[in-house]
A and B are shown apart, each in its own frame.
Chain A
Amino acid sequence: MTGLLLLAAWTAQPADADANLGRRLFDAQCALCHGIGGAGGRGPVLARAQLKHAPTEEALKTVIEQGLPGTEMPGSWQLSPRETGLVAAYVRGLGKLKEEVVPGDPVRGAKVYAGQGCAGCHAVAGEGSGYGPELTSIGARRSAAYLHEALVRPGAAVPEDFLVVEAVGRATVRGIRVNEDSFTIQLKDPQGFHSFRKSELRSLRKLAGETPMPAYGKLAPAELTDLVAYLVSLKGRP
């Protein structure tokens, strides 16, 4: 009885109440990463007409429900199918708004990228080093605002689980944490990988907020804008 009554109450709600619920659910559970209104942040801008992983309505619902395995995009199994539909409809609506317009020239930005030696730490489409995160599809994963932040204040916008660690044993190694369990830790620095058993270390310091990525706030404003435009244009291999 209660179930039936509830069902009746829900279906009787007007369409704008549904739209409202879609937005409220998005604000509570997605905006944290995708920004209010889907403006982007840790997650990509969703106010776009074309979503790479969600070309169709069904694909969009699946992405929301199951997340994108192997990425920071979580599944939202807590939403009922109806709620998933409402959030999907809200996300689609965002795409009909004006898309994020990014100033700057990506071609000039590519030259800044080459000139600054970014490839010494990053790989794009197979070119460069694997010390820092791969940037081949960074423009599909992060918003322009986030990328700007990553260049100017790198420590403030690091990938999830990114951590610099200082291990003091026979020698001192400061590196990026590659993996860790209760008994061991693996680091990498520009020289390569380092493996430690924790019981052999004199100290193990986790340096949250630190990163080997230099800050590029001193670039000329136009160069910075172009560089961000270049990064935004990196949408993955065709």
Chain B
Amino acid sequence: MRRRDFVSGLAGMPLAAQVPFERVLNAGAEPRNWLTYSGNLLGHRYSPLAQITVENAARLRPVWVYQFPDTSNQVSPLVVDGVMYLTAPQAMMAVDARTGRNLWRWSRPAPKDLQTIGFGRTNRGAAILGDTLYAGTLDGYLVAVDAKSGVERWAVEVADYKVGHCITVAPLAVRDKIVVGISGGEAGVRGFVDAYDARTGKRAWRFWTVPGPGEKGHDTWLNEAWKTGGATTWVTGSYDADLDLVYWGVGNPGPDWNGDVRPGDNLFSCSFIALEAATGKLRWHFQFTPHDTHDWDATHVPVLVDATIRGRARKLVINANRNGFYYVLDRVTGEFLHGNAFAKQTWASGLDDKGRPMALPNTEPTEQGTLVWPSLQGATNWFSPTYSPRTGWLYVPVREMGAIYYKREAVYKPGTFFAGGGEMAQAGDKAWGAVRALEVATGKTMWDFRLHSPTWAGLMSTAGGLVFGGSNESNFFALEARTGKPVWDYQTGGRVTGNPVSFEVDGRQHVAVASDRVLLVFSLA
């Protein structure tokens, strides 16, 4: 008690974090903080703060800037009681959220022979639980550090980086566990989702996203293809506390563009999976793209919402998928309830009653090349959509872009590129981007805000009636959530590469976003 008094006596000084799981679970009750990757465990990326509004957003000005050592930063910051927690490849940082001044920095040297196969060096953020901060590293470790000092508590090897494993995903704190996924889908690794005891770092469970012999779904892989099946898990999932289920998106099968060596549906690639939080046991799965040959990972944030579908109140998980279709699933059972294309796609005539795509002929990659929409980076990608409970709409960062897909030989050699082809994407004015508002139950486009090029940044909605987003041409902007009308934009000088977050210090709402080499923080002038 004395100690508490002492700390709060220093008014204005950022307080050290104590974040029991109840706080993460009820994140919506403390809008001034951003306690988990998506702002809440439901994957909404919605801020209940309402100081910045449609009327005053034009007065947003930068307050401070944080400079990273490298480019293309994708971190989604956490903010707890005046302290912002950031990550970069092999690093975690605590920063005074009021001034941007550094409080501590932890880092882990990258091994000399470290390689990231098929993607850039990045880290999407941390998880916080109790007084501990958790993040993954490119060399395959999950690390826990003291949130007050950055002192390392433990570091466990999740998987061997030498064969192409890598961690870029922000972990998810679920009760007493830290759930984490893996990257390496272009290196022929075998994917999984892991959970670790938050206190000790001991592994609690592992769910293999490519089932081994005797496991459910193993028969969807022929020969020995499952051993190099990819199906990685590099975007943070969501959690439903009532059902006690963790939802996670699974990536493409390997090799990406040459499916000849892996006949079958290749479960659980390109799927959402629902896992029991305590055991990691599979409750259900839904595969968006069976036997994918276009690299359409389903590594998206599963967005958990409740809505009425055909007259019946349902617990849903919704997803605008890289393959160009929007899906509504029952999150208790995984049942497919609705689907429709939300962006240009030329590879399927539609979805059948079970949500399985009806693939069109001549849309597979070939040696000469096949032109297909969307491009391999998809109609959307890893960056977050946002769900606003105020409008009841899902807002999606969209990429309208086609590509010529090539099929090539694929020979597996550990620790090398194992992709079997690639693409030549449409460039220049032939491709563009958008922020698109979708009605949850029907997937109907409510409005569309066109962007100059296919975007690579996430969205955040707020109780102030705004949707924040970014562009490749360095625009960070706010749209009116009801109409899509732009109300504010700012030239950051570098491609906007992150997911926005919002928090409050000194009674003022702030908005932050990573833009290439920097993190920018704005509030009203």
Q: Using CB atoms and an 8 Å cutoff, list the residues of chain A in contact with chain B.
A: 1-3, 6-7, 10, 24-25, 28-29, 74, 76-80, 82-83, 160-161, 163, 179-184, 199, 206, 208
| Pair B369/A28 contact, Cβ less than 8 Å | yes
23 contacts between A and B (CB under 8 A): A1-B224, A2-B225, A3-B228, A3-B411, A6-B409, A6-B411, A7-B411, A29-B424, A77-B417, A78-B421, A80-B408, A80-B410, A160-B427, A161-B429, A163-B429, A180-B473, A181-B452, A182-B452, A182-B471, A182-B473, A183-B475, A183-B489, A184-B491
Chain B residue nearest to A184 (CB atoms) is: B491
Query: How many B residues have CB within 8 A of the partner chain?
Result: 35
| Pair A77/B422 contact, Cβ less than 8 Å | yes
| B 508-519 binary contact with A (CB < 8 Å = 1; else 0) | 000000000000
Instruction: Chain B residues near A160: list those with CB within 8 A.
Output: 427-428
Instruction: Chain A residues near B228: list those with CB within 8 A.
Output: 3
- In B216-271, the 8 Å CB interface with A consists of 223-225, 228, 257, 261
Chain A residue nearest to B186 (CB atoms) is: A77
Tell me how many residue pairs across A and B have CB atoms closer than 8 Å. Answer: 79
Q: Name the residue among A3, A77, A78, A208 with the largest chain B CB count within 10 angstroms.
A: A78
Instruction: Chain A residues near B411: list those with CB within 8 A.
Output: 3, 6-7, 10, 80
Provided the pairs A77-B422, A78-B419 are in contact, do residues A181 and B224 lie with their beta carbons within 8 angstroms? no
| Pair B452/A2 contact, Cβ less than 8 Å | no
Instruction: Chain A residues near B305: list those with CB within 8 A.
Output: none
Q: How far is the CA of A181 from the CA of B450 in the complex (A)?
A: 11
Provided the pairs A83-B409, A163-B429, A183-B477 are in contact, do residues A2 and B224 lie with their beta carbons within 8 angstroms? yes
Say whether B406 faces chain A, with CB atoms less than 8 Å apart.
yes
Minimum Cβ distance to chain A for residue B274 (Å): 31
> Which single member of A1, A10, A74 contacts B409 (CB below 8 Å)?
A10
Instruction: Chain A residues near B368: list those with CB within 8 A.
Output: 28
Q: Name the residue among A163, A180, A181, A199 with the largest chain B CB count within 10 angstroms.
A: A181
Known contacts A2-B261, A28-B369, then 13 further A-B pairs from the complex at CB < 8 Å, ordered by chain A residue: A2-B223, A6-B409, A6-B410, A10-B411, A78-B257, A78-B419, A79-B408, A160-B428, A161-B427, A182-B473, A183-B475, A184-B491, A208-B429
Provided the pairs A29-B369, A74-B424 are in contact, do residues A181 and B473 lie with their beta carbons within 8 angstroms? yes
| Pair A161/B489 contact, Cβ less than 8 Å | no
Provided the pairs A3-B411, A28-B369, A77-B422 are in contact, do residues A180 and B452 lie with their beta carbons within 8 angstroms? yes
Say whether B22 faces chain A, with CB atoms less than 8 Å apart.
no
Say whether B412 faces chain A, with CB atoms less than 8 Å apart.
yes
Q: How far is the CA of A216 from the CA of B410 in the complex (A)?
A: 50
| Pair B428/A161 contact, Cβ less than 8 Å | yes
Q: Name the residue among A1, A3, A10, A208 with the largest chain B CB count within 10 angstroms.
A: A3
Q: How far is the CA of A25 from the CA of B486 in the complex (A)?
A: 46
Instruction: Chain B residues near A83: list those with CB within 8 A.
Output: 408-409
Minimum Cβ distance to chain B for residue A162 (Å): 9
Q: How far is the CA of A159 from the CA of B381 in the complex (A)?
A: 30
Q: How far is the CA of A61 from the CA of B224 in the complex (A)?
A: 32
